[in-house]
Amino acid sequence: MDFITDHILTWVTFLPLLGSLLIWTVFRRDTIARLVALGVALADFVLSLHLWFHYEPGRGDDQFIERVPWLLNGQISYHLGMDGISLVLAVLTTFLGPLVILSTWKAVKDRVPDFLGFVLFLQTAMLGTFFARDMLLFYVFWEAMLIPMYFIIGVWGGQRRIYAAVKFFIFTMVGSVFMLVGILYLYFQAGSMDLADFLAVELARGPQLWLFAAFILAFAIKVPVFPLHTWLPDAHVEAPTAGSVILAGVLLKMGTYGMVRFAMPLFPEGVAAFAPLMSILAVIGIIYGALVAMVQPDVKKLVAYSSVSHLGFVVLGLFSLTPAGVAGGVFQMLAHGLSTGALFLLVGVVYERRHTREIAEFGGLAHEMPAYATVFMIATLASIGLPGLAGFVGEFMILFGTFGSETLPHARLLTVLAATGVVLGAIYMLWMYQRVFLGKLSNEKNKGLGDLSLREFVVLVPLVVFMFWLGVRPGLVLDKIEASIERTLAPVMAPAVDNHAPQGSHALGDGADGGPVFVVRDPEKDGMNQ
Amino acid sequence: MESHANEILLRWIVLVPLLGAAANGLLNRRLPKQVSGLLACGAVGVSFALSIVVFLRLAGMPVAERFLSDTVTTWIGFGRLQVDLAFALDPLNAVMALVVTGVGFLIHVYSLGYMAHDAGFQRFFAYLNLFIFAMMTLVLGENLLMLFVGWEGVGLCSYLLISFWFNDEANAAAGKKAFIVNRIGDFGFLLGMFLIGVTVLPHLGAGEGLLSFRVLQHHAGALAPAATAICLLLFLGATGKSAQIPLFIWLPDAMAGPTPVSALIHAATMVTAGVYMVARMNFLFVLSPAAMNVVAIVGAATAIFAATIALTQNDIKKVLAYSTVSQLGYMMLACGVGAFAVGIFHVMTHAFFKALLFLGSGSVIHAMSNEQDMRVMGGLRKKLPVTWWTFLVGTLALAGIFPLAGFFSKDEILWKAFSSGNQVLWAIGFVAAGLTAFYMMRLLVLTFFGENRASPEVKHHIHESPLTMTLPLVVLAVLSLVGGWVGIPHFMGGGAHFEQWLEPVFAGGHHVVEAAHGAADAAHGAAADAVHHDTTMEWILAGASLAWGILGLLLGWLVYARRLGVAEGARRLAGGFPYRLLEHKYYVDEAYEATFIRPGYRLSKTVLWKWIDAGLIDGILVNGSALVVAVVGSVVRLFQNGMVRFYAWSITVGVTVFVLYLCFSG
Amino acid sequence: MEVTLTHYLVLATLLFLTGMTGFVVRRNAIVMLMCVELMLCAVNIVFVAFSRLHGDGGGHVFVLMNFAVAAAEAAIGLAILVEIFRRRRTVDVDDLKALME
C-alpha cells in the first residue's frame, strides 16, 4: 500500500484517466465498460477517503505534497498539494463520480465506452485542477476539462448540442486566454511557475488590478457570474444528464475555487478594488437568476438558472472577505453540488421516461411516482435552504458574513437584497414542484410511468443522506476548511474581530492592527506529509 | 447538575415525534393503519408525558433558578460564529411545550377517527409527527437559530399538510402560498438575526453561543442601539407566521388542509409561534417603544380587520380561520403593550377553544359528507349532540363569556391595553370582541339551528362522530371551561398564577430596560402600583366587555335565528358594496396579485428573460461578437476558393514580390 | 572548365523555375506533385553547393532531411490522390474544390 499512499494525490488524480484509457482501448463492450468505469470511480472515491481521514485540518496548509521538476530546470514542476478547501471539493468530485456513472446506465445508449472514457477523463482533469500547485500544471488541467465536456455535450447532447458545446467552449476559452497571459506575466516576475513563488511576488497596484481582472474574467465565466452566464442554460439544457450533473456539481465550482485559491490571495489590491463590483454582480445574479428561473417552461433550464442564483451567493460570500462569509461560500459550493446535482439527476429520471422536460407536459406526477416525488421534494427543500438540510448552513453563513463585512461598501444593503433570493428561491422551486407533481394526473402520457428503480434509488439516496448530514453536522466540513481559509486568504481577509477597534480597509499583511502577516508558503519546509 | 437526567429528557421530547415521523414516513403503506396511528399518537403521548415531567421538575425549583438546558452538540461552529444544537426549558416554553404536546396529542387521537378512511393515512401521521417535532424544536430551542430551524420546519409541515390532498391543485396552490408568504416573513427574521449577531459579536465572551437567548439577554445593553431595527425585522417574521397584517393572506387559504391540521397547526400551535417569538425576545422589544407600538397597532388592526371579514364568510372553516387571525391580533396587541404574559395566556386558552371549535367543525364536516358551506347546513343540534354541546362551550369561550377560558385572557388583554394608556387600541379590541361574539353566533345558528338544508342523500348520512373524535372534543371543552382559571386576576380574588409563573421570564425584560435607561423610572413604577390597587376601573371594564359579548351573541341570535333580515337590509342599504367588500376580504389577495405577482411575472418573463438574457446579452453581445467574426470571415473566405492552382499562383506572386522587396529596399 | 558555385545556382534556379511553372500551369495532380519534387531537388542542390563552399556538413544534413520529407510527402500525396481518383475518377485539381468549405 505504501506505493499508493506515498503518491496518493497522483493516484487519486490519475486513476480515472487510467480507467478511461483502458475503456477506450480494451474494454469496448458496453456492459463491461460500464462496470469498469463504475469500479474505477468507486476505487477513486475510496482513495480520496484516505485523504479525508488523513488530512490534518489543524494546520490548514498543503499536505500530501508531491513535487517533481518537470520543465526548464524545475522552474516548472509537477507539483501537487492539497489543503482543506481542495480536500472537500475533491471529495465532492470523487463522490459524484460513481453516482454519475451509475446514472448513465440506461440513459446513454450509443458509444458507451467513449462516453464513459470522457467522464473519467474529466474526473482526472477536475481533480488535477484542485490539487495543482504549479500554475502551468493548473492551466493544463484547467484546459483539459474543456475537451471531455465539449464532447459530452456535443456528441451525446440534445437538439442544439453543437451550438451549446461550441458556446461553452468559446466562452471558457476566451476567459482562459486572458488568465494564461496573466500567468505568463507572473512567471517572468517570479522566475518559476510555482504557486508559492507567485504568492511571494510583490506587485505594484497597477499590475495587480490588470492581473486580477484577467484572472477573475476566467473564473467569473466559469462560475458563471452575471452577465457572463448565458452559456450555462444552453449547456445544461443540451447536455446529457451526466454532463449536467458534473457541470453543476463540480465544474461551476472551478470558478469559485479559482477565486479563493488564486485570484484573491495573489492580488490583494485587485480584490480591494474589485470586491464592490463583484459583490454587486453577485447580488444581481442572485435576484436575476431567480426571477428568470421562475418563468422558465423547461425544468432543466429552471434548475440551470437557479444555479446562477446559488453561485451568486457563493461569490457574494467570498467577496465579503469575512471568515464566515468565505467559509459559507465554500460550504455552499458543496451544498449546491449535492442539491443541484440531485435535481439534475431527478430531471434526468423523468426525461428518460417521457423524453420531455416541459413543465406544461406534467402535473400530478406524485400520484404515479410517490417515491420520486418525495426525493424531489427533499432536493427542492435543500435547494431553497431549509434548515436541517445542507443549503441552509451555507446561505446563512454567507449572508451573516456579508452582513457583518466591514470592507464591503453597503454590505448591509447587499445582504438585504441577497436575502430576497431566499424568498424567490422558494417561489420558483415550489411553483415548479406544484406544476409538475401536484394536482390531477391530467396528461394521459404520464400514466403508468414507473417509480424510481433500485438503481435510481442507489444513485439518489447517498445524495439525500449527505444533504441531511451536512445540514445537521456542518462541522464535518467546516472543521476541515477553517484553518485553510484563514491561511489562504490571510493576505486579503480582515483579521478576526478580536479587538473592537475599527478595522483598516485591508490588512495587507502589515500586521499593524494585529492582523496576520502575509504568509509566504514554503512547500519544502511545511506540509511534507510523511 | 444533579438533575442531569431531566435535562437529557429535553432532547427526547423533541426527538420522539421525529422517530414516529420517520417510522411512518419510511414504512408508509407497509404499516397497518392501526400500528401507524398508534405509533404516531404514542410518540406525541410520550412527548407530552416527558413535558409534564420536566414541567414538574421546573416547578419544583426555586423561582429564580427555573432553567434547564440540554446541549446536544455544536451545530455551526466557525471561529466566533458558534451556535449550539441545544434545548432549554424555562417557565415560558414549559407552558408552550405542554400546550403543544397536550393539544397535539388530542388532535392526533381525533385524527385517528377523522382520517380513518383516507388512503394517505400513514403519510398524514408522518407529517403530523414531523410537525410536532418541528414545533417542539421551535419551542424548546435554546437559541434564536434553533427557534428558526423549528420555525422553518413548521412552515414546511404546514405546506405539506395544506397540500395534503394534492389531487386538487387549489390545495397545492394554498400550500405553496402559505410557504412563500411565510418565507417573506422569514426574510425579515433572518435579517433580524444577522443584525443581532453582528451587533452582539464584538461583546461576546469566550464560550458564549452567538444567538443563545440567555447570552443575548445578558448583552441586551449592547443591542439597545439597534433594538428598533432588530425588533421590526423579527416582527416581520412574526407577521408571516402569526398571520398579521400584511402577511395574513395565507391563513384562510390554509384551510384547504384536513381539519385536524387546521386545528393543530393553523389555530392552536404554529400560528402562535410569532407571539411566542416576540415574547421570547421580550428583553429586546421592551428596549424599543417604537417597535412595541408597531406590534400593538398591527395586532389591534389585525384583530378588527379579520373580525369584520369573518362576519360574511360562508365556509365554516373560513369563519374560524379569520377568527383565528383576529385572535392572534389580540395576542400581538398584548405583547405590544408589554403584557407578554397575558399574550401567552391567550395563546394557551385560544389553543384550547379554537382547537375545540375546529375539531367540532371537523366533526360537522365529517357528518355532512365533507360539506363546508354553512348555507346548506343547519339543524345539526339534535343529530350531533356531543359536537353541539362542546361547540357551544367553544363558542362561549371565544366570545369571552364568564367564566370560560376566553373571558379571562381576552379581558386581561383589553385591560392591559387600556391601563397602558392606549385607549384607542382598547376601543378597537373592544369592538372586535363584540364582532367576534356576533359572527360566532351566526356560525352557531347557521350550523346547528333551524332546518337542515342539505340534499336528502347527505341528510341521510348525518351521524355523530366516533369516540376517537368526540373524546378529544370533550376534553378540550373541559379545558376551555376551566383553562382560564389558572389566570384569574387579583381584583377578582384570584392569584394570577399564570402571570406569576411567567414572571421570571418577563421580569428580565424589565431589568434590561432599567439597565439600559440607567436609573429606573421610579415614579412610573409607583404609578403602576397605584393603578394596581385601584380595582374599580378593572371591574367596570370587565363588566362592560362581558355585557358587550353577550350583546354580540344576542344580536347574532336575533339576526340569524329570528330572521330579522337586518343583514339583508344592511346589504341593500349600503348598495351592497361594503358587504361585497367584506365577502371578498377587502380584495387584499387581488391587490397583491395586481401589484406584485403579475407585474413580477411579466417583468421576469418579458424584460429579464426575453429582452436582457436572450436579447441583450445573448443576442447582441454574445452572438453579436460571433456575427462580427462571421462577417469578417465571409469576406476573407473569397480568397479561399478551393482552386489549388490559384493558391500556387498566390504563393508564387507573393514570394516574388517579397524577394523583390528585399532586393530593392536596400 | 571548373564548375563554380554559379553553375550550381543557375542549375538550381532553372530547376526550381521549371518546377514552379509546372506546378502553376498544369492541372494534373500527379504532375503537380512531381513538380514539387523538382523544386525540392533544386533546393537540395543549393544546400549541397553552399555546404561544399563553407566546408560545413550542416547542408548535407538538411538534404538528408529533405529526402525524408520529400519521400513522406510523395507517399502521402500519392496515396491521397489514389483515394481521390477512386472516389472521383479524376485527378484534375480544378475539379477538386473540397477545400473551399
Chain A environment of B601 (Cβ under 8 Å): 294-295
User: Which chain B residue is nearest to residue A296, measuring alpha carbons?
Assistant: B605
Query: Can you list the pairs that B573-576 forms with residues at least 24 positions away whose Cβ atoms lie under 8 Å?
Result: none
| CB spacing of B622 vs A422 below 8 angstroms | no
What is the rounded CA–CA span in Å between residue B658 and residue C14? 20
| CB spacing of A387 vs B149 below 8 angstroms | yes
| CB spacing of A403 vs B195 below 8 angstroms | yes
Report chain C's mean pLDDT, rounded to a whole number: 87
Chain B environment of C19 (Cβ under 8 Å): none
Any chains having at least 3 CB pairs less than 8 A from chain C are: B
- Count of Cβ atoms closer than 10 Å to residue A166 Cβ: 16
Nearest CB to A291 within list B78, B194, B608:
B608
Which one has a higher pLDDT value, A485 or B647? A485
Nearest CB to A295 within list B79, B156, B601:
B601
**B539 and B601 co-located in one domain:** no
| CB spacing of B168 vs A439 below 8 angstroms | yes
Q: Nearest CA of chain A to the CA of B464: how many Å?
A: 32
Chain B environment of C100 (Cβ under 8 Å): 640-642
Number of domains in chain B: 2
Establish if B659 touches chain C: CB-CB under 8 angstroms: no
| Burial class for A217, CB neighbours closer than 10 Å (0-12, 13-18, 19+) | buried
Nearest CB to B81 within list A324, A381, A433:
A324
Establish if B644 touches chain C: CB-CB under 8 angstroms: yes
Task: With a cut of 60, say whether residue A509 has pLDDT above it.
Answer: no
Print burial letters for A58-74: b (CB count within 10 Å at least 16), e (below 16): eebbbbbbbbeebeeee
Cα–chain center distance at B565: 37
Establish if B639 touches chain C: CB-CB under 8 angstroms: no
**B404 and B298 co-located in one domain:** yes
Nearest CB to A438 within list B77, B79, B172:
B172
Bond prior to B225 in cis (omega within 30° of 0): no
Any chains having at least 3 CB pairs less than 8 A from chain B are: A, C
**B380 and B474 co-located in one domain:** yes
**B432 and B452 co-located in one domain:** yes
| CB spacing of A288 vs B81 below 8 angstroms | no
Q: What is the pLDDT of residue C18?
A: 92
| Burial class for A273, CB neighbours closer than 10 Å (0-12, 13-18, 19+) | middle
What is the rounded CA–CA span in Å between residue B103 and residue B270? 12
The answer to the question of residue A223 being in a domain is no
The answer to the question of residue B247 being in a domain is no
**B495 and B353 co-located in one domain:** yes
Pairing of strands A63-71, A76-82: antiparallel
Least confident among A92-106, A158-172, B629-643 = B629-643
Which of the residues B78, B156, B605 would you substitute to probe the A interface, choosing the one with the greatest number of A C-beta atoms within 10 Å? B78
Cell for B374?
354553512
The answer to the question of residue A478 being in a domain is yes
Q: What residues pair up with C58 in beta bridges, in sequence order? A: none
Q: Can you list the residues of chain B whose pLDDT is less than 50?
A: 1-3, 518-531
Kindly tell me whether chain C and chain A come into contact, counting contact as 3+ Cβ pairs under 8 Å: no
The answer to the question of residue B88 being in a domain is no
The answer to the question of residue B312 being in a domain is yes
pLDDT band at A511 (very low <50, low <70, confident <90, very high): very low
The answer to the question of residue A196 being in a domain is no
What DSSP designation does A478 have? H
The answer to the question of residue A486 being in a domain is yes
Q: What is the pLDDT of residue A501?
A: 36
| CB spacing of B81 vs A400 below 8 angstroms | yes
Which of the residues B639, B644, B647, B656 would you substitute to probe the C interface, choosing the one with the greatest number of C C-beta atoms within 10 Å? B644
Number of domains in chain A: 1
What is the rounded CA–CA span in Å between residue A361 and residue A347? 13
Cell for B273?
409561534
3-state secondary structure of B373: strand
- Considering only the C-alpha atoms of chain B, give the largest distance between any 2 of them, rounded to a whole number of Å: 124
Rounded mean pLDDT of A439-459?
85
What is the rounded CA–CA span in Å between residue B334 and residue B102? 24
**B459 and B312 co-located in one domain:** yes
Q: pTM for the complete prediction? A: 0.86
Among B417, B415, B405, B284, which Cα is nearest to B346's? B405
Rounded mean pLDDT of A154-164?
87
Chain A environment of B600 (Cβ under 8 Å): 291
Task: With a cut of 60, say whether residue A187 has pLDDT above it.
Answer: yes
The answer to the question of residue A132 being in a domain is no
| Domain around B522 | 290-583
Cell for B92?
415560558
Q: What is the pLDDT of residue B520?
A: 41
What is the rounded CA–CA span in Å between residue B316 and residue B443? 7
Cell for B570?
344592511
Establish if B640 touches chain C: CB-CB under 8 angstroms: yes
Instruction: Specify the DSSP element, H or E, that contains B88.
Output: strand B81-89
Chain B environment of A387 (Cβ under 8 Å): 145, 148-149, 152-153
**B301 and B441 co-located in one domain:** yes
Chain B environment of A291 (Cβ under 8 Å): 600, 603-604, 608
Establish if C96 touches chain B: CB-CB under 8 angstroms: yes
Which one has a higher pLDDT value, C3 or A39? A39
Chain B environment of A474 (Cβ under 8 Å): 75-76
Rounded mean pLDDT of A151-162?
88
| CB spacing of C97 vs B641 below 8 angstroms | yes
Chain B environment of C101 (Cβ under 8 Å): 642
Q: What is the pLDDT of residue A357?
A: 87
Q: Nearest CA of chain C to the CA of B625: how many Å?
A: 22
The answer to the question of residue A527 being in a domain is no
Q: Nearest CA of chain B to the CA of A387: how many Å?
A: 5
Rounded mean pLDDT of A452-467?
91
Residue A261 CA: distances (Å) to CA of A125, A520, B141: 17, 14, 38
What is the rounded CA–CA span in Å between residue A18 and residue A25? 11
pLDDT tens digits for range C51-100: 988 888 888 999 999 999 999 988 999 998 898 888 888 878 777 766 55
Nearest CB to C97 within list B642, B648, B652:
B642
What is the rounded CA–CA span in Å between residue A316 and residue A326? 9
| CB spacing of C99 vs B640 below 8 angstroms | yes
Q: What is the pLDDT of residue A496?
A: 47
What is the rounded CA–CA span in Å between residue B33 and residue B40? 11
pLDDT tens digits for range A404-434: 888 888 889 999 999 999 899 999 999 999 9
Q: Nearest CA of chain B to the CA of C49: how many Å?
A: 21
Among B262, B435, B271, B276, which Cα is nearest to B345's? B276
Amino acid sitting at position B501 = W
User: Which chain B residue is nearest to residue A430, measuring alpha carbons?
Assistant: B176
* Among B543, B560, B583, residue at a domain's last position: B583
Q: What is the pLDDT of residue B366?
A: 85
**Following DSSP, what letter does each residue of B385-409 receive, concatenated?**
HHHHHHHHHHHHHHHT-TTSHHHHH
Task: With a cut of 80, say whether residue C25 has pLDDT above it.
Answer: yes
Fold category of C5-100 in CATH: Helix Hairpins (1.10.287)
Question: How many interface pairs between B and C have CB atoms less than 8 angstroms apart?
Answer: 29
pLDDT tens digits for range A191-222: 888 998 898 888 888 899 999 999 999 999 99
The answer to the question of residue A375 being in a domain is yes
| CB spacing of C99 vs B648 below 8 angstroms | no
Nearest CB to B649 within list C24, C93, C94:
C24
**B556 and B525 co-located in one domain:** yes
The answer to the question of residue A129 being in a domain is no
Q: Nearest CA of chain B to the CA of C94: how many Å?
A: 6
Among B227, B223, B226, B229, which Cα is nearest to B210's? B223
The answer to the question of residue B511 being in a domain is yes
**B600 and B575 co-located in one domain:** no
The answer to the question of residue B196 being in a domain is no
Establish if C24 touches chain B: CB-CB under 8 angstroms: yes
Q: What is the pLDDT of residue A526?
A: 42
Q: Nearest CA of chain B to the CA of C20: how many Å?
A: 8
What is the rounded CA–CA span in Å between residue A147 and residue A20? 14
Cα–chain center distance at B560: 32
| CB spacing of C96 vs B644 below 8 angstroms | yes
Cell for A410?
453597503
pLDDT tens digits for range A244-303: 999 999 999 999 999 999 999 999 889 989 999 999 999 999 999 999 998 899 999 999
Q: Nearest CA of chain C to the CA of B642: how many Å?
A: 4
The C-alpha R_g of chain B, in whole angstroms, comes to 31
Q: Nearest CA of chain C to the CA of B620: how many Å?
A: 27
| Domain around A280 | 270-490
Domain ranges, ordered by start, for chain C = 5-100
